[in-house]
Structure 1
Amino acid sequence: MSPLRFDDSAVRPVEKSGGFRLDKVRGKMMGVCAGIGNYFGVDATLVRVAFAIATVLGFGSAIVVYLLIGLIAD
């Protein structure tokens, strides 16, 4: 009998040699937050909350950063 395996595919750290990539499969808009979450090995929801807080505290400048990352990456 083989042991049970649970596929925790929500957080998949990317090899550092592979570099940053957008995750359009798990992403909500452009896949930026999901790609950042995959790259650093954290949940994409935490990255989305951080972007929301940065948008409020930075008077919307995080939106510009998000769009630039989404257009430049991949």
Structure 2
Amino acid sequence: MIAGVVGGIARRYGWSSGLLRLVFVIVSIASAAFPGILVYLLLWLLMPEETR
């Protein structure tokens, strides 16, 4: 919800944004090999802005 990364991915593929956020948090906490905050920041920088 901070930068709209997970919500944008969910919208792109027609998935539930709440469910995808929950999965992202669970995977980030459960796995040391998946640095969630780094991936989120990287996607924030790389994803294009939404045009309205």
Which bin holds the TM-score, normalised by the shorter protein? 0.7 to 0.9
Q: Give ranges in structure 1 of 5+ residues lacking alignment.
A: 1-27
Please identify runs of 4+ aligned residues in structure 1 that moved more than 4 A: none
Instruction: Indicate the structure whose relative CO is greater, using CA pairs within 8 Å and at least 6 residues apart.
Output: 2
Question: What RMSD over aligned residues (CA atoms) do the two structures have, in Å?
Answer: 1.2
Q: TM-score, normalised by structure 2?
A: 0.78
Q: TM-score, normalised by structure 1?
A: 0.58
Equivalence for 1:49: 22
Q: Which of the two has higher C-alpha Rg?
A: 1
Equivalence for 1:65: 39
Q: Give ranges in structure 2 of 5+ residues lacking alignment.
A: none
For residues 4-49 of structure 1, what are the alpha-carbon distances to aligned partners after superposition, in whole Å with 9 as ceiling and x for unaligned?
xxxxxxxxxxxxxxxxxxxxxxxx2000011011011011001100
SS at match of 2:15: coil
Q: Number of residue pairs matched? A: 47
